């Protein structure tokens, strides 16, 4: 059964252990955006922990934005995974503060979700393979009904650096796998993109320009030259 986990991560002392949620004790006037994480139930602990560690290191902020973490699991049953993934994507679409979705799913589930999110200009970080990366790097891909790329793929095969394994294990009390590291690096890419010039509007208070975020994420972190 799919479970929804939603929480704010806005201070460095976030409760990472067990991948629970924590809320800041310090009120802030910073504009808030959401970062969603979707993963199969069996991989969720690792993926969510990697994402939360990246947020904690950034003290829950990127540029002018305060970041809320929101996580949802997808069934491990392939027969239900695509339905779950699409339902989760629709939930993200209803979130007016949604900035990006980090997803760790099989191709059959992730592609329809990326398609749906692209229609609303929501950026996606996919923990995928080289073939999916090549497709994501193609601006004319069927993944993009809007005609504008909004997804990057963090491919497997790079392993887990010793420094990351050490810091992750010390803070969370369990050993990270490659999915945790890929989620961590994917979230770091989103945070860097959120802080880039032009991603926050000139309104008072600033608002998120989703198109600018997607363009920056793909341009700076898509790594499409190697696809």
Q: What does 27-85 look like in DSSP terms, one character per residue?
A: ---S-EEEEEEEEEHHHHHHHHHHHHHHHHHTTTEETTEEEEEEEEEE-SSHHHHHHHH
Query: Is a pLDDT exceeding 70 seen at residue 163?
Result: yes
Instruction: Please compute the mean of the pLDDT values over residues 209-225 and round it to a whole number.
Output: 96
Complete domains list, the chain, with CATH:
4-226 (3.40.50.2300)
Instruction: Please compute the mean of the pLDDT values over residues 60-89 and round it to a whole number.
Output: 95
CA distance 172 to 199: 32
Helix (H, G, I), strand (E, B) or coil at 100: strand
pLDDT tens digits for 89-130? 999 999 999 999 999 999 999 999 999 999 999 999 999 999
N-to-C CA span, the chain: 36
Instruction: Please compute the mean of the pLDDT values over residues 142-149 and round it to a whole number.
Output: 96
Report the percentage of the chain scoring pLDDT > 90. 84
Query: Is a pLDDT exceeding 50 seen at residue 22?
Result: no
Query: Is a pLDDT exceeding 70 seen at residue 200?
Result: yes
Would you say the pTM of this structure is higher than 0.85? yes
Of residues 17 and 146, the one with the higher pLDDT is 146
Q: Which of 147, 109, 138 is nearest to 126 (CA)?
A: 109
pLDDT tens digits for 178-192? 999 999 999 999 999
Q: Which of 105, 108, 156, 116 is nearest to 133 (CA)?
A: 156
Q: For position 28, what pLDDT does the model report?
A: 59
Least-confidence region, from 1-10, 30-39, 79-88 = 1-10
């Amino acid at each position: 059964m799919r479970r929804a986990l939603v929480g704010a991560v806005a201070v460095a002392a976030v409760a990472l252990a067990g991948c629970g949620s924590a809320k800041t004790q310090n009120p802030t006037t910073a504009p808030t955006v959401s970062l969603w994480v979707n993963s199969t139930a069996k991989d969720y602990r690792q993926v969510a922990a990697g994402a939360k560690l990246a947020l904690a290191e950034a003290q829950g902020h990127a540029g002018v934005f305060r970041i809320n973490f929101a996580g949802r699991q997808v069934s491990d049953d392939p027969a239900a995974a695509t339905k779950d993934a699409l339902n989760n994507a629709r939930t993200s679409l209803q979130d007016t503060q949604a900035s990006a979705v980090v997803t760790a799913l099989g191709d059959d589930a992730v592609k329809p979700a990326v398609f749906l999110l692209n229609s609303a200009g929501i950026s996606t970080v996919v923990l995928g393979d080289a073939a999916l990366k090549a497709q994501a790097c193609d601006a004319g891909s069927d993944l993009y009904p809007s005609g504008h790329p909004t997804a990057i793929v963090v491919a497997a095969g790079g392993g887990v650096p010793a420094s990351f394994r050490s810091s992750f294990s010390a803070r969370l009390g369990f050993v990270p796998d490659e999915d945790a590291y890929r989620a961590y690096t994917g979230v770091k890419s989103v945070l860097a993109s959120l802080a880039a010039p032009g991603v926050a509007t000139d309104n008072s208070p600033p608002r998120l320009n989703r198109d600018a975020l997607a363009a920056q994420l793909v341009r700076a972190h898509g790594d499409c030259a190697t696809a």
